[in-house]
Amino acid sequence: MRRNRSRTRAWAVVSLLIGALFASSAWPGAASAADPIKIGFGMALTGGLAANGKAALIAMQLWEADVNKKGGLLGRPVQLVYYDDQTKGATVPGIYTKLLDVDKVHFVVSGYGTNLIAPAMPIVMERKLVFPALFGLANNEKHNYSGYFQIMPAGPRPAIDWTGTYLEVAARQTPKPQTLALVGADAEYPHNALAGIRENAKRLGFKVVYDSTYPPNTVDFTPIVRVIKAQNPDVVFVASYPPDSAGMVLAAHEVGLQPKMFGGGMVGLQFAALLTKLGPKLNGIVNYDFWVPEPTLKFSGIEDFLKRYQAQAEKAGVDPLGHYLPPWAYAYLQVLGQAIEGTKSLDQQKVADYVRTQEHDTIVGKVKFGANGEWATSRVLQVQFQGIETTDIAQFHKAGKRVVVWPEQYKSGKLIYPYSSAMK
């Protein structure tokens, strides 16, 4: 009797399971409506770009949480699916095919950096996917792919527009400086930047008196700076990665290099680590940036985002300021989210068309893409470090320390010229 009852119970459970299975397959629409919209990407969580990659990931997870708090996209929750690309291009094809063919993500976005975006391009092009990208320089130049969108505001001619602004600032000073020294590391970004600045120098009539590169692992920059000083240039443009940027600034102070303008393309002077290391030595340097806490750049949502990012950053051991990459990592997902909502569709073509044709309201301001997927007009800022007296990080949260001197639209103060006057 007892055996019969337990057998009946077992059959009931099996029938229920089969019933549930049938029900779920009979109304796939009802089941998939609750399924998350998956967005996949590879991100540098180890290797050379890990510090920035981790910071970007925090920003992206904040976007995921924000969207889900508001009910998701098209009534479905959003889920980020990501893998560590180890800052190695060779891992990228495997990661993106895994995301698309195994994890079945609905959309993919790029990881951080030119070298990590490039290997994903053939895969997204082959499948005609929309591809928002995070901080790659001229990745679409050869492909001219219509689904590619670069959130970094370098402008339609990235290498040229990026660096052009520095010389534009110099060219507007009276009397106009005449000679230019160029120096950068033997690496991907510096070579791109130097190629751009050479063209701009020609266009704006600067005479290049020094043009050289140094090996990537250089630690002593004093000899390089001494040679530059011997040429006595009016303007010095440096294209460097963070450790070299610190080395160049320290060497310039040690040697007493005082051109009329100094800086330009130094990566690292946007991060808390170098800002607090160099402190007052930064005064007077004019360098590129994408966002700084100046009153002219207070876009809707940016302050709230930074507050939440900064609360997590310390725990995660990444850049505690988060002014450089994180807002853009949040913004490129905002663009994608707005396009999905705007088209009410997951169709790649429709979403790509929407991204291309519409202006997007993001925490980094209004974003409008041009024909090649770069920003329609460059918004690379030139900021001058002014009035830095200590190495305290708190000062960099406030306005007035990195004054925007270019472009006119976002200008928040006057350039102190020449460099020697601003050093004090």
Which residues contact another protein by CB under 8 A?
45-46, 83-86, 88-95, 97-98, 100-102, 114-115, 118-119, 121-123, 126, 139, 141-143, 185-188, 190-192, 195, 213, 215-216
Report the relative pairing of strands 235-240 and 179-185 from DSSP bridges. parallel
Closer residue to another protein (CB): 139 or 283 = 139
Rounded CA-CA distance 246/268 in Å is: 8
Rounded CA-CA distance 421/148 in Å is: 44
Q: Are 277 and 319 in contact (CB under 8 A)?
A: no
Closer residue to another protein (CB): 186 or 359 = 186
Burial of 373 (0-12, 13-18, 19+ CB in 10 A): buried
Minimum distance from residue 196 beta carbon to another protein (Å): 11
Closer residue to another protein (CB): 118 or 246 = 118
Rounded CA-CA distance 20/411 in Å is: 62
Q: Which long-range contacts (C-beta less than 8 Å, at least 24 apart) are formed by 139-142?
A: 139/114, 140/372, 140/373, 140/374, 141/372
Minimum distance from residue 238 beta carbon to another protein (Å): 16
Closer residue to another protein (CB): 45 or 285 = 45
Minimum distance from residue 186 beta carbon to another protein (Å): 5
Closer residue to another protein (CB): 35 or 186 = 186
Minimum distance from residue 178 beta carbon to another protein (Å): 28
β-sheet bridge partners, residue 403 = 384
Rounded CA-CA distance 121/128 in Å is: 10
Rounded CA-CA distance 340/343 in Å is: 5
Give residue 34's region: left, alpha or beta (phi > 0; psi -120 to 50): alpha
Rounded CA-CA distance 49/159 in Å is: 20
30: which 2 tokens?
A: 């009802």
Closer residue to another protein (CB): 91 or 386 = 91
Minimum distance from residue 17 beta carbon to another protein (Å): 29
Minimum distance from residue 373 beta carbon to another protein (Å): 14
Minimum distance from residue 327 beta carbon to another protein (Å): 26
Q: Which residues of 104-138 are buried (b: 16+ CB within 10 A; e: fewer)?
A: ebbbbbbbbbbbbbbbbbebbbeeebbbbbbbbbb
Closer residue to another protein (CB): 87 or 287 = 87
Q: Are 384 and 405 in contact (CB under 8 A)?
A: yes
Closer residue to another protein (CB): 142 or 424 = 142
Closer residue to another protein (CB): 103 or 359 = 103
User: What single letter denotes the amino acid at residue 265?
Assistant: G
Strand segments, DSSP code E, in 163-300 are 179-185, 207-214, 235-240, 261-266, 286-289
Minimum distance from residue 287 beta carbon to another protein (Å): 21
196: which 2 tokens?
A: 């751009």
DSSP symbols for 88-152: -GGGHHHHHHIIIIIS--SEE---BSHHHHGGGHHHHHHTT--EEEBS-SSTTTTT--TTEEE-S
Give residue 319's region: left, alpha or beta (phi > 0; psi -120 to 50): beta
Minimum distance from residue 372 beta carbon to another protein (Å): 14
Minimum distance from residue 90 beta carbon to another protein (Å): 6
Minimum distance from residue 32 beta carbon to another protein (Å): 21
Q: Dihedral sign, CA of 286, 287, 293, 295?
A: positive
Closer residue to another protein (CB): 85 or 244 = 85
Closer residue to another protein (CB): 116 or 257 = 116
